[in-house]
Amino acid sequence: MNVNEILDRRMMWGNWTIVSEFVLVSFSTLSSELQALLFLLFLTVYLVTLMGNILIILVTTADSALQNPMYFFLRNLSFLEIGFNLVIVPKMLGTLIIQDTTISFLGCASQMYFFFFFGAAECCLLATMAYDRYVAICDPLRYPIIMNRKACAQLAAASWFSGFPVATVQTTWIFSFPFCGPNRVNHFFCDSPPVIALVCADTSLFELEALTATVLFILFPFLLILGSYVRILSTIFRMPSAEGKRKAFSTCSSHLLVVSLFYSTAILTYFRPRSSTSPESKKLLSLSYTVVTPMLNPIIYSLRNSEVKSALRRVIRRTLGPQKL
């Protein structure tokens, strides 16, 4: 925000007003019938997301054949996806069905904090999962030594912990700014760009820090993933047998698809110039990585992974008995 915009707001609103709540614009410009249809659609997606990720957690925990690093990280990813959904979707459903568009100052700060936390942690965990596939395919003989239980726990803990600094710095800094009075957040949740647009102070230093954080927690993990898959594909193409190539690629294809879905929308959202993206298109892009991708992750890992499908059948067989199948 430049100096002229700040002065214009101060002249318009006089003294700064204490903002005690925000209004989420969400999809209020749509007709009530279309909002009802969106509510049913997003509610279905939300329930499928919860059930799918809970199922992944239960299957990878209960089945002895899935007690290896890849499924340990997948279990952590499912926990992150559940948290990500719980932060965003329930409030969005409320804005659609009962027009509950207000959110308290503290509620908005809390939602933004956990959005940053789960988002940064997921970026780092996806990079960790790429490293796991890199070691498994490029250095298979040392894989059990490198990716031992202690190393896996440390990598998962580091991924989760990475969300704390970015969430704490970003959220604390944003909500320490003065808000002049306008409190309509043009989004379906309290994301940083639409909230910072309501600030009447110079935010250039914060925007520089936000860009740095975006590079560190979105672009840098993405480059690590990209580098890992360059080495993985190079190793796969050098394998002598077609069967070996197929098996090696099948172990990382699900993760590669999930990464592509998540990062394509996240990069389009946070690395495009403001002037080239309308608020409505940003909402659609945000829906992709906050609502759609968490639902697709368990579907991708269960449908494209024969080990998960076999484990799911074994769990059902033990639960219902062989005569039910």
User: Domain with 193 in it: what CATH number?
Assistant: 1.20.1070.10
pLDDT of 22: 92
pLDDT of 19: 77
pLDDT of 322: 56
Q: Is residue 75 part of a domain?
A: yes
Q: Is residue 243 part of a domain?
A: yes
Q: Is residue 310 part of a domain?
A: no
* Confidence grade of residue 144 (pLDDT, cut at 50, 70, 90): very high
Q: Write out the residue range of the structural domain in which residue 77 sits.
A: 24-301
pLDDT of 93: 92
Dump pLDDT digits (tens) for 58-78.
888 888 778 899 999 999 999
* Confidence grade of residue 10 (pLDDT, cut at 50, 70, 90): very low
Percentage of the chain with pLDDT > 90? 44
Q: Is residue 182 part of a domain?
A: yes
Residue by residue, DSSP assigns 13-81 as: H-SPPPP-EEEE-TTTTS-HHHHHHHHHHHHHHHHHHHHHHHHHHHHHHH-GGG-SHHHHHHHHHHHHH
Q: Is residue 124 part of a domain?
A: yes
Q: Is residue 245 part of a domain?
A: yes
In this model, does residue 273 exceed pLDDT 70? no
pLDDT of 277: 64
Mean pLDDT in residue range 42-49: 94
Domain count, the chain: 1
Q: Is residue 321 part of a domain?
A: no
In whole angstroms, how large is the CA radius of gyration of the chain?
Answer: 22
Dump pLDDT digits (tens) for 153-171.
999 999 999 999 999 999 9
Long-range own/partner contacts, residues 240-248 (CB < 8 A, 24 or more apart): 248/137
Angle between helices 163-174 and 105-138 in degrees, nearest 10 = 150
Angle between helices 32-62 and 306-320 in degrees, nearest 10 = 80
Dump pLDDT digits (tens) for 168-204.
999 999 999 988 778 899 989 999 989 998 988 888 8
Q: Is residue 63 part of a domain?
A: yes
Query: Which of 88-102, 114-128, 214-228, 277-291 is least confident?
Result: 277-291
Dump pLDDT digits (tens) for 298-320.
888 776 677 777 777 787 777 77
pLDDT of 275: 58
Residue 78 CB coordination number (10 Å):
24
